[in-house]
Amino acid sequence: MTKITPLLFLMVLFYGYKTEKHPIEDLQLEQVKNQIQLSETQEILFTLAADSMKGRDTKSKGYYKAATFVRSYFKSNKIAAFYPEYKDSLSTKGRNTYNVVGRLGSYDPNKKTILIGAHLDHIGIRGSVGDSIYNGANDNASGATAVLQIGKFLAQFEWDQNIILALFADEEQGLRGAYHLAKRFKKEGVSIDYMVNFEMIGTTLTTGANQVYMTGYNYSNMPELMNQKSPNFVQYLPEAKELNLFRRSDNYAFFKESNTPAFTLSSFDFKNFDYYHKAGDEAELLHTENMNRIICTAAFTLAKMIHKQDRVQFQLQTQQQPSMEAQ
C-alpha cells in the first residue's frame, strides 16, 4: 500500500485539477456574444439617456435617478456593494452626490485588484429654448452601459483577483468623482493594479467596426495585452495624444493619485459624431450594434486578462512615461 499511495495521491491531484479547470480557460467570444444581448444593451442605454434623467447632473437630481438605477442593476446581478449602499459620497460646489461602487465576490486586500469604470454624469439642462436636455447618450451613458454589462458578465464566475466597478459622479466638473474615489482608495490602502475606463463608445471608429482607441496608448503594455486576446481591437489615435485625452477622463485621477496604469477606451474620434457636448447627443443616433460588439469584445478581453493575471506596466523605455508630462 505504501508504494501505491503516492501514485494514487498524484492521480487524485491530476484529475482533481482537471475537473476544476477555470471556465474562462476555454471561453470563446461567441459565448460572450450569446450572453451580452443587444436588446439589453439598448435598454440600459436608452434608460440612462432618457429625458427623465434630465442630463444626469446633480443639480437637476437626474443624476440620483441614474445612480439609483445602477444600484438596483448591481443588486439584481450579483454585484455586491463595495461601500454601504454602493455609495462613495462627496460634495461638489455645495451639492452632495456620490460615485456608485460595486465589487465582484468578497474583497481580499492580499489579492490584486482591477478597477473597471466610467462616468455616469453629464451636463444636465441648459437654456430653455427647444431641446434643453443634454442627454449625454454617447457621453457617457454608452460607457456606463459597458461597465454594467461587463460587470454582469464577469459576476457569474469566481475570480482570483478583486474586481471593482465604479460609476463616477462629477466627471464633467473636473473629474471630481474619480479624484474623490482615488484619494479614498489611497487612504484606505485599496491598491489598484490597473484600471480600464470607458468613455463614449456609441459610434463606430473611422478605422473600422468593433474597434476602440486607448488614451495614453504608448505609455503601457495594456494595448498589446488586449490585442493578444482580441486582435486589432485597440487602436492608436493620433488626436488622442495631440489633445492629451489621457488627462481628460477619470482614468487620470487614478494615475495622478497613485501612479496606477489607468487608461480610457473610446470610439469617439472627433470625426464620427457631431453632438459632443450638444443637446443632440441622443440614444437614437448611436450605433448600438457596434457598441454591443465593443462591449462583448471588451468583456471577453478583460475576462482573459484577469484570468491570466496579466501584469499591466508602464513602458519606461519609451520616454513617454506620463509622470514626466503630468504635472
Cβ distance to Zn ion smaller for residue 229 or 287:
287
Dist CA 255 CA 129 (whole Å) = 40
Q: Kindly state the cell numbers that stand for 154.
A: 464577469
Query: Using the rule CB under 5 A, is 266 a contact of Zn ion?
Result: no
Stretch that binds Zn ion, among 94-102, 191-199, 262-270, 310-318 (CB under 5 A): 191-199
Cβ distance to Zn ion smaller for residue 104 or 298:
298
Strand partners, 165: 102, 116
Residues whose CB is less than 8 angstroms from the CB of residue 278 and which lie 6 or more positions away in sequence, other chains included:
134
Cβ distance to Zn ion smaller for residue 199 or 269:
199
Cβ distance to Zn ion smaller for residue 98 or 268:
268
CB of 31 to Zn ion, least distance (A): 31
Query: Using the rule CB under 5 A, is 292 a contact of Zn ion?
Result: no
Cβ distance to Zn ion smaller for residue 121 or 193:
121
- Phi first, then psi, for residue 209 (nearest 5°) are -75, 160
CB of 112 to Zn ion, least distance (A): 27
Dist CA 250 CA 238 (whole Å) = 20
CB of 123 to Zn ion, least distance (A): 10
Query: Using the rule CB under 5 A, is 204 a contact of Zn ion?
Result: no
Cβ distance to Zn ion smaller for residue 139 or 257:
139
Dist CA 166 CA 305 (whole Å) = 19
Stretch that binds Zn ion, among 46-54, 192-200, 216-224, 265-273 (CB under 5 A): 192-200
Q: 235, 212 in Cβ contact below 8 A?
A: yes
DSSP 239-263: HHHHTTGGGSSTHHHHHHHH---EE
Query: Using the rule CB under 5 A, is 57 a contact of Zn ion?
Result: no
Q: 262, 118 in Cβ contact below 8 A?
A: no
Query: Using the rule CB under 5 A, is 139 a contact of Zn ion?
Result: yes
| Binding positions for Zn ion, rule: CB under 5 A | 139-140, 199
